[in-house]
Amino acid sequence: MDELATAPSRRARDLGLVTGRFAPGPYGAITDVPGVRVGHVTLREPPLVHSGVTAIVPGDVHPGAPLPAGVFAGNGYGKLIGSTQLAELGALETPVLLTSTLSAFRAADALVGWMLERPACAEVTSLNPVVGECNDGALSDIRARPVREGHVRAALDGAAGGPVAQGCVGAGTGVAALGFKAGVGTASRLVEAGGQGACVGVLVQANFGGTLRVLGRTVSPADVGVPGPRDTPQAGSCMVVAATDAPLDARQLARVARRAVFALARTGAAYGHGSGDYAIAFGVRPGGPPPPDAGLDPLFEGVMDAVEEAVLDSLLAATTTTGPGGRTRYALPADRLLRLLGRG
């Protein structure tokens, strides 16, 4: 088992591949939103296990101090635990976990146990754990359900602000997208919402089908000289978590979540039958007067740009990985990509 991954990776922006007109925050990550922390635990036992768990922890969230939130399912083929109450009440009561499909249920139980130990939850008799997943069965023994309670607790306890490790870490260890090895990606944008300055940050767990598009150009594995997938596993899905310090209400955050899923189309997403494409958006400033909807356009634009960048970062930071049975997903080679785009 690898320890908590904390080092930043090479990124699209470093290569001159810039999406949109808004500047990123200091870390170009979801952690640019005040109070948001991220923790990864990565599990590798080659060739059988490439899996893990990622925790997105917004401050001291708990049932007595929930955060406004919205959720959107672009295609509901997935196991987003806690989604119905999240949609009904528009309130996030726990951190958000991302992991492997068949480990999601153990992760939810571990999250409940961790929450009940918080001093603020001493009298709690009901809470709604939120856990998203992607199927990493092409590159990991998913039936082994390798993510256990200790791993979840380590991700939660180790969550930190600042730079966020990307690529084959945490929940992104065994995933693939758009014909290449993928993983976790993150990005942020400094925007306006209702005339007020705001930050919006996203984190993606990318594991979906389609043909990659980079700044509008289609890029297949053959275009950059690597083998494409030879098998067509049942796996799929993309989880997007968005956070903002704009004082949005739950209804407005659901609108943000929709744009986060829409943005996957820019990257070439096919939204296939077996792909669970979800987004959760939460705000870290509850209770304030929400801005008028007519003032949200820059924020909508910013979240779409951030998702596009985060997906590309998830590919560029990933490394070629071979799983059970010799199944291999090849990394996107940055140098060849730049030459293809006429920038190398």
Q: Is the pLDDT of residue 335 over 80?
A: yes
The H-or-E segment that residue 310 falls in is helix 297-316
Q: Does a structural domain hold residue 120?
A: yes
Any domain includes 183: yes
Domain of 290 in residue numbering reads as 13-321
90-145 pLDDT, tens per residue?
999 999 999 999 999 999 999 999 999 999 999 999 999 999 999 999 999 999 99
Query: How is residue 265 annotated by DSSP?
Result: G
pLDDT at site 230: 75
Q: Alpha carbon of 294 to those of 252, 266, 291: distances in Å?
A: 11, 24, 8
pLDDT tens per residue, range 289-310 = 999 999 999 999 999 999 999 9
Report which DSSP code applies to 229. P
Determine, yes or no, domain membership for 5: no
pLDDT at 6 over 90: no
Collapsing DSSP to helix, strand or coil, 138 comes out as coil
Q: Which CATH number does the domain housing residue 300 bear?
A: 3.60.70.12
Q: Give domain status of residue 333, yes or no.
A: no
The reported pLDDT for the residue numbered 233 is 53
Q: What is the pLDDT of residue 38?
A: 98
178 within domain boundaries = yes
What's the pTM? 0.95
The rounded distance, in Å, linking the Cα atoms of 157 and 239 is 22
* List of residues 6+ apart from 332 with CB closer than 8 A: 180, 181, 212, 219, 224, 226, 315, 316, 318
> Per the domain annotation, does 97 fall within a domain?
yes
Q: At what angle do helices 297-316 and 250-262 cross, to 10 degrees?
A: 50
DSSP annotation string for 47-65: TTEEEEEEEEEETT-BTTB
Q: CA 159: distance to chain centroid?
A: 15
Cα separation of 180 and 183, whole Å? Answer: 10
To 10 degrees, the CA torsion angle through 316, 322, 327, 332? 10
Is the pLDDT at 87 greater than 90? The verdict is yes
Contacts of 117 (CB under 8 A, 6+ apart): none
Residue 157 pLDDT greater than 70, yes or no: yes
Average pLDDT on 35-64 reads 97
Q: Give the pLDDT of residue 232.
A: 58
Share of the chain above pLDDT 70, in %: 96
User: Of 182-186, 198-202, 269-273, 330-334, which gets the smallest average pLDDT?
Assistant: 269-273
Q: What local confidence, expressed as pLDDT, does residue 1 receive?
A: 38
Residue 316 lies in a domain: yes
DSSP code of residue 193: E
At 194 the pLDDT is 86
- Give the CA distances from residue 147 to residues 49, 151, 154, 320, in Å, rounded to whole numbers and listed in that order: 10, 6, 11, 22
Number of domains in the chain: 1
pLDDT band, very low/low/confident/very high, at 7 (cuts 50, 70, 90): very low
Q: What is the mean pLDDT of the chain?
A: 94
Spatial CB neighbours of 122, under 8 Å, sequence gap ≥ 6: none
Question: Using one digit for the tens of pLDDT, what is the confidence trace for 199-241?
Answer: 999 999 999 999 999 999 999 999 999 998 876 554 578 999 9
Upper half-sphere CA count for residue 107 (Cβ side, 13 Å): 35
Q: Which residues are catalytic?
A: 237, 275, 277
Picking from 133, 123, 57, the residue whose alpha carbon sits closest to that of residue 92 is 57
Sign of CA dihedral 137, 143, 144, 149: positive
Separation CA 238–CA 116 (nearest Å): 29
Which residue type, as a one-letter code, is found at position 109? D
Instruction: Give the model's pLDDT for residue 10.
Output: 76
